[in-house]
Amino acid sequence: MTKLIFIEGISGVGKSTMVRKICEDLTLAGKTVKGYVEFDYTNPIDFYCVAYYTTAEYENLCTKYEQYKDLILKNTVDARSAKLIHYFDEDTPLFEEPLLSEFMKREFCYNPQNPVTLQVYSEAYTAVWKNFISSLKNDVDYIIFDGSLLHHPINDMIRNYGATKKQVFGHIQKLLATLDKTEHCVYYLKTEDIVTQLSQAYIDRGQQPPDSSEITFWKKRYDYDSFVLNHIDQEYQVFDVKNKWDAVKNEILNSITS
């Protein structure tokens, strides 16, 4: 049976690097692995640049742009009463104008111009997770996700809806409920010095150091993460990565394979 692994933590803590390294080590050990890092549009349960359509709106879209119907279907994710359409692969658009602009106006979660309601957002998100679990083929040993359980959904809920901790907790509990019959683990990477960690991450990415508003946001994010982890009905492990990154990686690997 495929084991699902969630690597979590605030921005800059090293989630993507951890996912890549663990995938490499497991592969070298003869295991079959799929890993999904940030902005990977093939991720089956996480979203970046996807447009939201109700079923009726989706049918009208396919009729209106019949010449693009096959491409639309290829990039569609079923959310039961709705459809989510991928329209970018990282920085590469998957559609031409005017369809691309239409999709951007219907962005689902990443800085949406016209966000759906929080209830609709949570229902669609949860539906995609249910569909993923029901269609899981168990054709690999491990699937490893970068920030797909806590990081990206909580970002969306705070930035787009000003969600409370209680609302965030309720949404994460719904996602975890879909995993009930799967083997899965949650590993949270943290650092006591958020400012230093975040600043170094920005520099490594060639970005300007975070300003005071960004630092305030990520401190709030860590507070939300801590609240959710302390209240969910789910076992998890927390690792402080400061000055012992390789040791933490090895601990996680041992835990995954035990």
Residues linked to residue 88 through DSSP beta bridges, in sequence order: 93
Q: Which residues contact 51 (CB under 8 A, 6 or more apart)?
A: 84, 85, 87, 102, 103, 104, 106, 107, 108
The string of pLDDT tens digits covering residues 27-55 is 999 999 999 998 999 999 999 999 999 99
Would you say residue 109 has pLDDT above 90? yes
Q: What is the rounded (10 degree) CA torsion for 116, 121, 123, 127?
A: 120
Q: What is the pLDDT of residue 102?
A: 96
Structure tokens, 232: 């969910």
pTM for this predicted structure:
0.94
The string of pLDDT tens digits covering residues 60-101 is 999 999 999 999 999 999 999 999 999 999 999 999 999 999
Q: What is the pLDDT of residue 21?
A: 97
Question: From the CB of residue 195, how many other CB atoms can be counted at a distance below 10 Å?
Answer: 13
Would you say residue 209 has pLDDT above 90? no
Q: What is the pLDDT of residue 176?
A: 96
pLDDT confidence of 183, banded at 50, 70, 90? very high
Q: Kindly calculate the radius of gyration of the chain based on its CA atoms and give it in whole angstroms.
A: 19
C-alpha separations of 125 from 51, 71, 104, 111, 171 in Å: 13, 22, 18, 16, 9
What average pLDDT does the chain have? 94
Strands 50-54 and 82-86: antiparallel
Residue 203 CA to residue 26 CA, distance in Å, equals 30
Would you say residue 160 has pLDDT above 90? yes
pLDDT confidence of 241, banded at 50, 70, 90? confident
pLDDT confidence of 199, banded at 50, 70, 90? confident
Q: What is the pLDDT of residue 76?
A: 98
Name the segment(s) of the chain with CATH classification 3.40.50.300: 3-44+131-257
| CATH number for region 3-44+131-257 | 3.40.50.300
